[in-house]
Homo-oligomer: A and B are copies of this chain.
Amino acid sequence: MTEQAVMVKMVLDRWNSLLRNCDECIQSLRADQLEKEIAPGKNRGIYLLGHLIATHDDLFRLLEIGEPLHGDLFEMFVKAPDKAVKDIPSVDRLKEVWGSQVALLTSMIGAISPDEWFGKHSAVSEADFEKEPHRNKLNVILTRTTHLSYHLGQLKLL
């Protein structure tokens, strides 16, 4: 096992494990639970669910494995704060989208080779990447892993 492959395994193990935990948490929560605020006056569970889907949707573009599928959710759940947009999808619909996204991302991410992980992601230029080689695809997963963990800690309060 090359050191590169070891590093990829380390990061993907964390990502997959947190994604699985988060999936179990989301699927175990009823609609009325996800519609509650995680703490008084804070974001609702449904907002965090939409926020995670919208954030992960951008991975297809950044990792160059496809195009975003849910641009509308980005407006509702990233650009706008919770409760600002009235007409959002139902919990059941978001749970469906989340489930398909987890399956698709897991299969596409599993097909990326260790060497490709250390290539630049799509939002950095060739020139910048030469100076800052840490701005690679694996780093995108690493930052999304800590983002996922942050919000999982909140969803677990529901």
In the complex, chain B residues whose CB is within 8 Å of the CB of A133: 1, 6
Copies in the complex: 2
Kindly state the separation between the CA atoms of A136 and B5 in the bound complex, as whole angstroms: 13
Q: Quick one: which of B4, B39, B118 contacts A39, CB cutoff 8 A?
A: B39
A157 is contacted by which of B39, B138, B142 (Cβ under 8 Å)? B39
**Chain A interface residue count: which class?**
20 to 34
- Name the residue on B nearest A143 (C-beta): B14
- Partner among B4, B42, B146 whose Cβ is within 8 Å of the Cβ of A18: B146
Query: Is there contact, CB below 8 Å, between B154 and A10?
Result: no
**Residue of B with least CB distance to A38:** B39
A134 interfacial by beta-carbon distance below 8 Å: yes
